[in-house]
Amino acid sequence: MKIRHRQGAYPIIFTTLEVAREAVPAESFVVTDSHLSEKYVHHFRPDLPTLVVPAGETSKSMEQFDRILNWLARNGMRRHQHLVAFGGGMIGDLAGFAASTYMRGVPLIQIPTTLLSMVDSSVGGKVGIDLPSGKNLVGAFKAPTTVYICPEVLQTLPDREFTAGVAEVLKYGFIMDEPLITSLSKLPLMPGDGRLTEIIRTCISHKATIVERDEMDTSGLRATLNFGHTVGHAIETLQDFQGLLHGEAVAVGMATEAQISESLGLAPPLTRAAITATLSAHNLPTAIPDELSAKDLVQAMLSDKKSTGDGLALSLVGGIGTCKLRTGVNVDDVIRSIDELKRD
């Protein structure tokens, strides 16, 4: 599979970790996280300089970004050498952002190791870091030279991480692929599931269709991939990136945004119930954490990049399988919907 972008195209190669690591060019630099380093670093490419970043979303920070840049400079990385992001979404975003800025850009190889990063963040070129006031507020578009998908690494993924990744799989169904939801509702996706490789392929091809038509996120089409993310990012920000995992926050966000959609008359009745039932069948959370008020959430949502100043911008489903970016969504309507949901 190939993803076309404004400067060319890059392949998505489905393979094994063994093949991917042998394919990494000599003289590359590797960035990974502390969980993976325990599992793989001695087997990955011990011949290559490797920087280990603490696992967890809090590392998607200015501090770790600065650390990577200085490590590359101290170790004499040159412009033709590749930076390999070997890890989940945090590593892909953080190392990818370093690759987009170090010496004005060095080639980037993505080897995603979580379900979430395989189906979403490693594809499409968005890279970046968080600020205390919001998720992904600093970043760039940086197309990788190659993405290697090695489904076998999912076998050692902790159950909670796997389940969080399923939220992004279901998102594709909710926004554009009703049959995917029908089939996953009959038989929820589990670690080690024989359908995984095919499902990852389906999700990446959905993402390719979208990013090839709206790479720079300007027409509103790519924004539909953010269904559940405006509320999800607000939850992560208010929890200082130390509460729900990204995929879990997105699951709560999808249930919440489905309610907003229904309240605004944009989705038929029972859309939220159907979305919530599918998420729950996959052991994903759907309730807004008690300690977060509707007002605080909306305040955090206003710092989302899509927000334009005249209300909120939200990607809202029009039922299962369709989604559209809506701008100027009234803040009081959103607070009312969230309060309704919290009372339920």
Give contact residues for ligand GLY (rule: CB under 6 A): 120-121, 124, 126, 222, 225-226
Q: What is the DSSP letter of 312?
A: E
Nearer to ligand GLY, 6 or 343 (CB): 6
- Least distance in Å: CB of 331 to ligand GLY? 24
Q: CA–CA separation, 19 vs 100, rounded Å?
A: 25
Share of the chain residues as helix, strand and coil, in percent rounded to the nearest 5: 50, 20, 35
- Least distance in Å: CB of 121 to ligand GLY? 6
Instruction: State both tokens at 115.
Output: 């379900």
Dihedral sign for Cα 78, 80, 81, 86, please: positive
- Least distance in Å: CB of 224 to ligand GLY? 9
Q: How far is CA 325 from CA 52, 225, 267, 317, in A?
A: 38, 10, 13, 9
Nearer to ligand GLY, 165 or 294 (CB): 165
Q: How far is CA 217 from CA 56, 100, 141, 183, in A?
A: 26, 18, 10, 30
Nearer to ligand GLY, 123 or 154 (CB): 123
Backbone φ, ψ for residue 335 (5° rounding) = -60, -40
Nearer to ligand GLY, 125 or 151 (CB): 125
3-state secondary structure of 50: strand
Nearer to ligand GLY, 226 or 271 (CB): 226
Largest CA distance in the chain: 59
| Residue at token pair 């979404």 | 89
CB 338 within 8 A of CB 261: no
- Least distance in Å: CB of 321 to ligand GLY? 18
- Least distance in Å: CB of 42 to ligand GLY? 32
- Least distance in Å: CB of 141 to ligand GLY? 10
- Least distance in Å: CB of 124 to ligand GLY? 4
Q: What is the DSSP letter of 68?
A: H
Nearer to ligand GLY, 134 or 341 (CB): 134
Nearer to ligand GLY, 28 or 110 (CB): 110
Dihedral sign for Cα 30, 36, 42, 44, please: negative
- Least distance in Å: CB of 339 to ligand GLY? 28
From its phi and psi, is residue 150 left (phi > 0), alpha (psi between -120 and 50) or beta? beta
- By CB neighbour count within 10 A (0-12 exposed, 13-18 middle, 19+ buried), where does 216 fall? exposed
Nearer to ligand GLY, 21 or 326 (CB): 326
